[in-house]
Amino acid sequence: RREFFRLAGGLLIPGAAGSLAGACGDASSAAGLSDGGGRQLPLQNVKAKVINTDEPLNRFEDITSYNNFYEFGTGKNDPQRYGGSLKTSPWTVKIDGLCNKPASYHLEDLIKDQQLEERIYRLRCVEAWSMVIPWVGIPLSTVLNPAEPQGKAKYVAFTTLFRPGEMPGQRTDALQWPYVEGLRMDEAMHPLTILADGLYGKTLMNQNGAPIRLVVPWKYGFKGIKSIVQIKFVEKQPPTAWSIANPQEYGFYSNVNPEVDHPRWSQAREKRLPSLFATYKTQMFNGYGDQVASMYSGMDLKRNY
């Protein structure tokens, strides 16, 4: 609650995100740094480069109070309530596996201010709710290419921090820890795929996956793994947290598809938060089909749910 009031001080102007980022705040921040105690710092020089929707943005308050981040509990408000215990500075990300130049990076060396872009994306959760979020980040390919992946590398595997002392959900068996995710190499290198370190022009709140998380807008939200500490090039399709938990219900690809229902509910429609009614028609590939559908030509999209 305290976190919320500290943030509600008028910095956030829904709809003005494109121009907000460069306009607010002092010059003290480095890219991706929060102070480790949950206070959000302005991100400098964010380019409003790629706007992928003109739908209204969700309010900052929605985006930071209704979350899935099971490391802090399974309730939608648990991540906001308990996220403050995670220390996000210093933060190191290891990039390794099948590549010529494996390395560990301090976060501020991985993402540079000058590279930051704003990306306004729909986020569609497999639970049939959605939001529109003005992320700040960089294309994932920007950090993958310097590692020089080898020809054998066919997939990229991601791992969330495992630190049960700071993440109370990791002291339960809600999921197998640490949370893991994966992408095929072409999906990982796709220009729509980003690593986000901020939203609404400021560093991420812990509940949204601080200090750095994945965003893959044409896939269900659970592919967007939070609080990443390792990115690894691998040969075989890597295990993913939700398909480990329930392989009948959650697959590897998990592309948004209104024609393939979840075994327990329809995916044809979604509720656009804060609405409680599923009045919104879900779009194939969450509306990004023009850019991504060709990656799946020849694949049975019904099976690769």
Ligand X SMILES: Nc1nc2c(c(=O)[nH]1)N[C@H]1C(S)=C(S)[C@@H](COP(=O)(O)O)O[C@H]1N2
Q: Are 132 and 58 in contact (CB under 8 A)?
A: yes
* CA–CA separation, 163 and 55 (whole Å): 37
SS3 of residue 162 by DSSP: coil
SS3 of residue 221 by DSSP: helix
Write down the H helix ranges in the chain: 2-7, 17-23, 60-63, 78-82, 107-110, 140-144, 185-189, 241-245, 289-292
Residue 159 binds ligand X, judged by CB under 6 A: no
Identity of the residue, 98 or 216, whose beta carbon is nearer to ligand X in the bound complex: 216
Q: Are 147 and 127 in contact (CB under 8 A)?
A: no
Give the interface segment with Mo ion, choosing from 16-24, 38-46, 120-128, 261-269 (CB under 5 A). 120-128
User: Taking the complex as a whole, how short is the minimal distance between the CB of residue 123 and ligand X, in angstroms?
Assistant: 6
Size of the chain in residues: 305
User: Taking the complex as a whole, how short is the minimal distance between the CB of residue 294 and ligand X, in angstroms?
Assistant: 25
**Other CB atoms within 10 Å distance of the CB of residue 37:** 12
C-alpha distance across the termini of the chain, in Å: 37
Identity of the residue, 125 or 214, whose beta carbon is nearer to Mo ion in the bound complex: 125
Binding mask 111-150 for ligand X (x = CB under 6 A): ------------x-x-------------------------
Binding mask 209-248 for Mo ion (x = CB under 5 A): ------------xx--------------------------
Residue 91 binds ligand X, judged by CB under 6 A: no
Q: Are 226 and 209 in contact (CB under 8 A)?
A: yes
Q: Are 65 and 56 in contact (CB under 8 A)?
A: no
Query: Cβ neighbours of residue 132 under 8 Å, at least 6 residues apart?
Result: 53, 55, 56, 57, 58, 120, 121, 122, 123, 272
Identity of the residue, 63 or 99, whose beta carbon is nearer to ligand X in the bound complex: 63
Residue 160 binds ligand X, judged by CB under 6 A: yes
Please name the amino acid found at residue 265.
Answer: W
DSSP state of 44: P
Residue of the chain from 122, 190, 219, 226 that contacts ligand X (CB under 6 A): 226
Identity of the residue, 69 or 285, whose beta carbon is nearer to ligand X in the bound complex: 69
- Sign for the pseudo-dihedral over CA of 169, 175, 176, 179: negative
Determine the number of helices (DSSP H) and then strands (DSSP E) in the chain: 9, 13
User: Taking the complex as a whole, how short is the minimal distance between the CB of residue 224 and ligand X, in angstroms?
Assistant: 5
Q: Which does 135 bind (CB under 5 to 8 A by kind): ligand X, Mo ion, none?
A: none
**Number of amino acids touching Mo ion (CB under 5 A):** 4
Give the interface segment with ligand X, choosing from 64-72, 111-119, 229-237, 283-291 (CB under 6 A). 64-72
Identity of the residue, 72 or 233, whose beta carbon is nearer to Mo ion in the bound complex: 72
User: Taking the complex as a whole, how short is the minimal distance between the CB of residue 223 and ligand X, in angstroms?
Assistant: 7
Identity of the residue, 226 or 272, whose beta carbon is nearer to ligand X in the bound complex: 226
Identity of the residue, 82 or 222, whose beta carbon is nearer to Mo ion in the bound complex: 222
Query: Cβ neighbours of residue 270 under 8 Å, at least 6 residues apart?
Result: 124, 128, 129, 130, 278, 280, 281, 282
Residue 70 binds ligand X, judged by CB under 6 A: yes
Q: Which residue is nearest to ligand X (CB)?
A: 221
Residues that bind Mo ion (CB under 5 A): 68, 125, 221-222
Q: Residues interacting with ligand X, by CB under 6 A?
A: 67-71, 123, 125, 160, 179, 208-209, 221-222, 224-227
